[in-house]
A and B are shown apart, each in its own frame.
Chain A
Amino acid sequence: MKILKIIPEKCTGCMRCELACSYEQTGTFQPSKAVIRVSAFEGHTSYAPYTCPQCDEAWCLTACPVEAIGISPAGAKDVADDICVGCKLCTIACPYGTMFYDIDTHKAFKCDLCGGNPACASVCPTDAIVYEEADKTDWVGPFAAERAKSPAGPLAGVL
Chain B
Amino acid sequence: MARHVIVGGGTAGWNAITTLRELDKGDSEIILVADETPYSRMVLPYYLARDIAESHVYIASPPKLAALNVDARLGARAERIDASANKLILEGGDEVEYDNLLIATGSSPVKAPVPGADGKNVHSFWTFPQARAVASGVGDGARVAMIGAGFIAFTILNALVNQGVKLTVVELESRILPRMIDDTGAGLVQSWLNERGVEVRTSTQVTSIEDKGESKLLKFKEGPDLEVDLVIMATGIKPNIDWVTDSGLETNQGILVDEHCRTNVANIYAAGDIAEGPDAVTGDRVVHAIEPTAMQHGRVAAANMAGQEVAYKGSLLMNIVDVLDMEIASFGAWDDADAEVFEAVRAERPAYRKLLFHGGRLTGAIILGKTREIWTTNDVGMLKGLVYTGVDISEWKEHLRKNPFDVKRAFLASGAAGGLLPETVLGRPSASSNELTIAS
Interface, chain A (partner B; CB < 8 A): 32, 37, 39, 41, 48, 50, 53, 55-58, 61-63, 65-67, 69-71, 83, 85-89, 91-103, 136-138, 140-142, 144-145, 147-149, 153-155, 158-159
Whether B435 contacts A89 by the Cβ 8 Å rule is: no
Q: CB of B83 within 8 A of chain A?
A: no
Whether A70 contacts B430 by the Cβ 8 Å rule is: no
Whether B320 contacts A96 by the Cβ 8 Å rule is: no
Interface, chain B (partner A; CB < 8 A): 11, 15, 40, 42-43, 45-46, 51-52, 56, 59, 291-292, 295-296, 299, 318-320, 322, 329, 331, 371-372, 375-376, 378-382, 384-385, 388-389, 395-396, 398-399, 403, 406, 408-418, 420-421, 423-425, 428-435
Given A55-B421, A144-B409, A159-B406, 16 additional A-B pairs, CB 8 A: A41-B409, A57-B430, A62-B430, A66-B43, A66-B59, A69-B432, A71-B431, A85-B52, A92-B320, A93-B384, A97-B380, A97-B381, A145-B414, A148-B395, A154-B409, A158-B409
User: Which residues of chain A are near B414, meaning CB under 8 Å?
Assistant: 141, 145
Residue of A with least CB distance to B408: A39
Whether A97 contacts B56 by the Cβ 8 Å rule is: no
User: Which residues of chain B are near A149, meaning CB under 8 Å?
Assistant: 395
Residue of B with least CB distance to A37: B378
A-B contact pairs, 6 of them (CB 8 A): A56-B430, A62-B299, A65-B11, A69-B432, A92-B380, A102-B375
Whether B381 contacts A98 by the Cβ 8 Å rule is: yes
Residue of B with least CB distance to A146: B413
Cα A99 to Cα B410 in complex, Å, equals 18
Cα A152 to Cα B295 in complex, Å, equals 45
Whether B418 contacts A141 by the Cβ 8 Å rule is: yes
User: Which residues of chain B are near A93, meaning CB under 8 Å?
Assistant: 292, 384
Whether B46 contacts A85 by the Cβ 8 Å rule is: yes
Cα A66 to Cα B412 in complex, Å, equals 30
Whether A53 contacts B421 by the Cβ 8 Å rule is: yes
Whether B413 contacts A141 by the Cβ 8 Å rule is: yes
Whether A96 contacts B420 by the Cβ 8 Å rule is: yes
User: Which residues of chain B are near A92, meaning CB under 8 Å?
Assistant: 292, 318-320, 329, 331, 380-381, 384
With A87-B42, A144-B412 as contacts: A67 and B381 at CB distance below 8 Å: no
Cα A155 to Cα B400 in complex, Å, equals 11
Cα A70 to Cα B435 in complex, Å, equals 9
Cα A132 to Cα B203 in complex, Å, equals 59
Whether A141 contacts B381 by the Cβ 8 Å rule is: no
Whether A62 contacts B295 by the Cβ 8 Å rule is: yes
What is the CB-to-nearest-CB distance from A46 to chain B, in angstroms, rounded to a whole number? Answer: 11
Cα A125 to Cα B320 in complex, Å, equals 38
The 4 closest A-B pairs by CB, nearest first: A138-B418, A95-B385, A97-B381, A97-B378
Whether B385 contacts A57 by the Cβ 8 Å rule is: no
User: Which residues of chain A are near B420, meaning CB under 8 Å?
Assistant: 55, 57, 95-96
User: Which residues of chain A are near B385, meaning CB under 8 Å?
Assistant: 94-97
What is the CB-to-nearest-CB distance from A13 to chain B, in angstroms, rounded to a whole number? Answer: 14
With A93-B292, A137-B421 as contacts: A39 and B412 at CB distance below 8 Å: yes
Cα A70 to Cα B43 in complex, Å, equals 18
What is the CB-to-nearest-CB distance from A59 to chain B, in angstroms, rounded to a whole number? Answer: 8
Cα A50 to Cα B414 in complex, Å, equals 14
Cα A70 to Cα B433 in complex, Å, equals 8
Question: Among B42, B375, B398, B416, which residue has its beta carbon within 8 angstroms of that of A100?
Answer: B375
What is the CB-to-nearest-CB distance from A106 to chain B, in angstroms, rounded to a whole number? Answer: 8
Residue of A with least CB distance to B386: A95
With A50-B412, A65-B291, A94-B381 as contacts: A58 and B46 at CB distance below 8 Å: no
Whether B40 contacts A65 by the Cβ 8 Å rule is: yes
Residue of A with least CB distance to B389: A95
User: Which residues of chain B are near A37, meaning CB under 8 Å?
Assistant: 378, 408
Cα A67 to Cα B11 in complex, Å, equals 11
Cα A115 to Cα B425 in complex, Å, equals 27
User: Which residues of chain B are near A140, meaning CB under 8 Å?
Assistant: 412, 417
With A41-B409, A65-B11, A154-B399 as contacts: A141 and B434 at CB distance below 8 Å: no
What is the CB-to-nearest-CB distance from A128 to chain B, in angstroms, rounded to a whole number? Answer: 15
User: Which residues of chain B are near A63, meaning CB under 8 Å?
Assistant: 291-292, 295
Whether B56 contacts A61 by the Cβ 8 Å rule is: no
User: Which residues of chain B are near A96, meaning CB under 8 Å?
Assistant: 381-382, 385, 417, 420
Whether B399 contacts A153 by the Cβ 8 Å rule is: yes
Whether B375 contacts A101 by the Cβ 8 Å rule is: yes
Cα A159 to Cα B428 in complex, Å, equals 41
With A85-B52, A100-B375 as contacts: A136 and B421 at CB distance below 8 Å: yes
Whether B411 contacts A97 by the Cβ 8 Å rule is: yes
User: Which residues of chain A are near B389, meaning CB under 8 Å?
Assistant: 95
User: Which residues of chain B are near A136, meaning CB under 8 Å?
Assistant: 421
Cα A48 to Cα B428 in complex, Å, equals 29
What is the CB-to-nearest-CB distance from A103 to chain B, in angstroms, rounded to a whole number? Answer: 5
Cα A138 to Cα B418 in complex, Å, equals 5
Cα A143 to Cα B52 in complex, Å, equals 45
What is the CB-to-nearest-CB distance from B384 to chain A, in angstroms, rounded to a whole number? Answer: 5
What is the CB-to-nearest-CB distance from A42 to chain B, in angstroms, rounded to a whole number? Answer: 11
User: Which residues of chain A are near B322, meaning CB under 8 Å?
Assistant: 88
What is the CB-to-nearest-CB distance from B137 to chain A, in angstroms, rounded to a whole number? Answer: 22
Cα A108 to Cα B301 in complex, Å, equals 28
User: Which residues of chain B are near A48, meaning CB under 8 Å?
Assistant: 412
Question: Among B42, B295, B413, which residue has its beta carbon within 8 angstroms of that of A144?
Answer: B413
Cα A140 to Cα B382 in complex, Å, equals 14
